[in-house]
Structure 1
Amino acid sequence: MARSPGTADASTAPQAVERVLAIDPALRKTGWAVVESVGGTLRAIEWGVIHNKPPLLPSGCLVAIRTGLSDVISRHAPTVCAIETTIYVQSFKTAIVLGTARGACLIAAAEHGLPIYEYAPREIKQAAVGRGAAQKDQVAFMIRAQLRLRETPEPDAADALAAAITHFQNASAARVTERETRRV
């Protein structure tokens, strides 16, 4: 059977690749990860934590976060960004600090034109561990197993990897409408 020009057999068609930059924002330890999905198989490309030492002023931390994430975006060319929402905190001061760190992350992604989706911390833990009240070490252990990593990532990087998994779980065709409501 002849094929018409411009079409491909299902066996030779390129598989859609989505590459996510996932972020767990914090002023002193911003976790990040780049994960891609090819044909439904997830692969962690790179992950890490942007460490800002206490002597660095908060304004310097924000610059370091934005610069660090911009470097990651330039290296890996993600197609989308998934970020953890700000958690409920008792202190207004803590909420403001977390909000500013999250703002630096959002600016880095927006400057590169990435669509940004947000996910609640409980939802991310649920995707990684199966329960929304999991501890950071439990998340790290499960992420290592799920992504078949050789080493257990730092807790903040593990949270970012979990955010990527959450994004891919929410990316199914049945949830497209719900996913668009998460877009920042």
Structure 2
Amino acid sequence: MRVLGIDPGSIVTGYGIVEKVQERYIDVTHGEIKLKRGLLFTASLEKVYNELFSIIEGERPDAVAIEDIFYGKNIKSLIKQGHVRGVAILAGSKHHLPVFEYTPLEVKKAVVGYGRAEKIQVQKMIQVMMKFSELPPEDASDAIAVAICHINHQKKVSI
């Protein structure tokens, strides 16, 4: 199973494609889509959509897993994040891929074993699980964690 994990953000959107072969997770690709401050928001959304669309086109994942919005104090940021999630979901659905959503709590619990883990704990666990020589970028790490969460969730469902 090859899964594209997405950590949507209004400034940085992380992505990571993970494949599970036997009992090992394999990093197919990962990175961050960084948006320029001051760019029209519609142009930012188009950039996220186009980049994710190209990644899906090139890497052919079997599914998309995306992190759900967490609660926060800044409503405007949450709304923008919701728009980014929308274009990310659209990129997957345009390729006829199933799209699954997971809360940050579910993702952290699946990877670290504790739903209230700090971002650095997630990064370090991803580094170990994926056998990276250095810490992956923060948002890419979160996206990889979302992909792993989905792979683990599917394993439970199929048993």
- Specify if TM > 0.5: yes
Out of 101, 111, 117, which is 1:128 matched to? Answer: 111
**Secondary structure of residue in 2 paired with 1:134:** coil
Q: Which has the higher contact order (CA 8 A, sep 6+)?
A: 2
- Inter-partner Cα distance in structure 1 for 2:51 and 2:140: 14
The yes-or-no answer on 1:160 pairing with 2:143 is yes
Stretch of structure 1 that moved more, 158-167 or 148-157: 148-157
Aligned partner of 1:36 in structure 2 is: 19
More helix by share: 2
Aligned partner of 2:98 in structure 1 is: 115
- Inter-partner Cα distance in structure 2 for 1:83 and 1:120: 9
Structure 1 unaligned blocks of 5 or more: 1-17, 178-184
Aligned partner of 1:145 in structure 2 is: 128
Work out the percentage of aligned pairs sharing the same amino acid: 36
TM-score (norm 2): 0.94
Aligned partner of 1:92 in structure 2 is: 75
Residues 58-98 of structure 1 deviation map (CA, whole Å, 9 limit, x = unaligned): 11110010011011111111010000011112232122111
TM-score (norm 1): 0.82
Between Structure 1 and Structure 2, how many residues are aligned? 159
Dislocated runs of 4+, deviation >4 Å: none
Structure 2 unaligned blocks of 5 or more: none
The yes-or-no answer on 1:175 pairing with 2:154 is no
- Inter-partner Cα distance in structure 1 for 2:127 and 2:23: 18
